[in-house]
Amino acid sequence: MSDMRINVLFFGATADIVGKRREELEVDGEVSAGSILDELRTRFPYLAAQKLHISIEQEYASSDSIVKAGDEIAIFTSVSGG
């Protein structure tokens, strides 16, 4: 499979930690949500201290969910609306 680009969005505390609201990742073919989280924790070590949630195409996803080319991914800490 060919390389693909994935857009990752950050909100709230994760946006503050990574210092930006969006990051483009290049991955080799299909990847799991978990492997994206691992990659981000390596790039931004402070993320490792957080309990993180991941969404794919605006739906909550688990670590073994598959991310496809062009998917919108978001990484965030526990929600606190209300």
Partner 1 sequence: MDHCELTTEPINVGAVARRVVPPECGATVTLDGYARRFTTRDSKVIETEYLVYEAYEEMALKEMQKLAAKAKEDFAISNVGIVHRTGKIEIGETSVVISVAAPHRKDAFAACEWLIKELKRTVPIWKKEIYADGEAWSEGEAAE
Give the C-alpha separation, 68 to 14, whole Å.
22
**Which of the ranges 22-30, 34-42, 61-69, 71-79 carries the binding residues for partner 1, by CB under 8 A?**
71-79
Contact 62, 53 (CB under 8 A): no
SS3 content of the chain, % helix, strand, coil (to 5): 30, 40, 35
Q: Binding of partner 1 at residue 7 (CB under 8 A)?
A: no
Our finding on whether 55 is near partner 1 (CB under 8 A) is yes
- Should residue 13 be labelled a site residue for partner 1 when binding is judged by CB under 8 A? yes
Among 7, 62, 63, 78, binds partner 1 (CB under 8 A): 78
